[in-house]
Structure 1
Amino acid sequence: MLNVFLLYKIRTRITRIFKPLFMSNLLHEELTKSILKVFYDVYNELGYGFLERIYQNSLYYELKSNGFKVETQKRIKVYYKEIEVGEYIADIIVNDFIILELKAQEYLIEANEFQLINYLKATHCEVGLLLNFGKKPEFIRKVYQNFKK
């Protein structure tokens, strides 16, 4: 029978070997990390309870001052068989690669995730971050690759 120390050593070694495989090679990983740092900076400064627009303006300011290209309230056209059938408005798009969908609600719901996925489907962007300035800050990262579009 293996003793506890040996079992711990085996598990630790497996984790060390495989952890980099799971934690690396994410699409736009460094950009995502930078955006999340700004998200938490804004949340820590403002806290919970403001309107979504206040958080959007604060994120815009922080992202711009960190050297990112930032577009707010970007119109996203939706097409059906090459006919424009409507549009969405994305809260923020960073460096033309990542869509930020902001929420200022108590907690995220499944419909919020589907909203972000639809934004990704309708654009060339493949990564989206759902950022909630709720009682506790939370985020969800979604990827929808262009070859599926």
Structure 2
Amino acid sequence: MARSYTEFDNLTSNILKCAYDVHTKLGPGLLESAYKECLSYKLQTLGLFVEKEKAMPLIFEEVKLDCGYRIDILVEKTIVLELKSVEALNDVHTSQVLTYMRLGEFKIGYLMNFNVSSLRNGIKRYVL
């Protein structure tokens, strides 16, 4: 069953609240893995279905290739979260999120860089 816009709005609102909470409590400067574990935990405490390091196979024609692509966090089997802790986001990070969205046919994705003083400056939303 397809999700309504209201369900997506509520889901993305909860994701962003959790991300801001994690960033507020931990601050910038940690490894990506620390933010991933804490954000996953926060999302799960809300009762959301969370998959960490979700394998994303590449299907080319009739061949399924296990190339080692992994989504950092997939929420409710619908929203891709790609987390970073880098000096600055660049085009390859954007391409990564968009590729995961396209391969998995996901409509919404977030690229989150936790290595910023204000998380507002580290979040990019993508919609296909």
1:41-56 → structure 2 map (5 Å cutoff): 41-56=21-36
Taking only the aligned residue pairs, the percentage that are identical comes to 34
Structure 1 residues 27 and 131: alpha-carbon distance in aligned structure 2, compared to 1, 3 A threshold:
farther
Aligned to 1:37: 17
Moved over 3 A (4+): none
Relative to structure 2, which stretch is displaced further, 31-40 or 77-86?
77-86
| Matched letter for residue 98 of structure 1 | I
Q: Once the 2 structures are TM-superposed, how far is the Cα of residue 103 of structure 1 from its aligned partner?
A: 0.2
Structure 1 residues 65 and 27: alpha-carbon distance in aligned structure 2, compared to 1, 3 A threshold:
closer
Report how many aligned residue pairs link the two structures.
120
Name the structure, 1 or 2, with higher relative contact order (CA <8 Å, separation 6+). Answer: 2
Aligned to 2:53: 73
Give TM-score, length-normalised by structure 2: 0.87
1:26-58 per-residue CA deviation (whole Å, 9 max, x = no partner) reads 882221111011100000000011100000000
Greater C-alpha Rg: 1
Aligned to 2:84: 103
1:1-149 → structure 2 map (5 Å cutoff): 28-85=8-65, 86-136=67-117, 137=119, 138-144=122-128
Relative to structure 2, which stretch is displaced further, 128-137 or 69-78?
128-137
| Matched letter for residue 68 of structure 1 | L
Structure 1 residues 34 and 142: alpha-carbon distance in aligned structure 2, compared to 1, 3 A threshold:
same
Instruction: Structure 2 unaligned segments of length 5 or more: list them.
Output: none
1:56-84 per-residue CA deviation (whole Å, 9 max, x = no partner) reads 00001100011111010110111111212
Q: Is the 8 A contact 2:30 2:115 kept in 1?
A: no
Q: Is the 8 A contact 1:78 1:87 kept in 2?
A: no
Provide the aligned C-alpha RMSD in A.
1.5
Q: Once the 2 structures are TM-superposed, how far is the Cα of residue 123 of structure 1 from its aligned partner?
A: 0.4
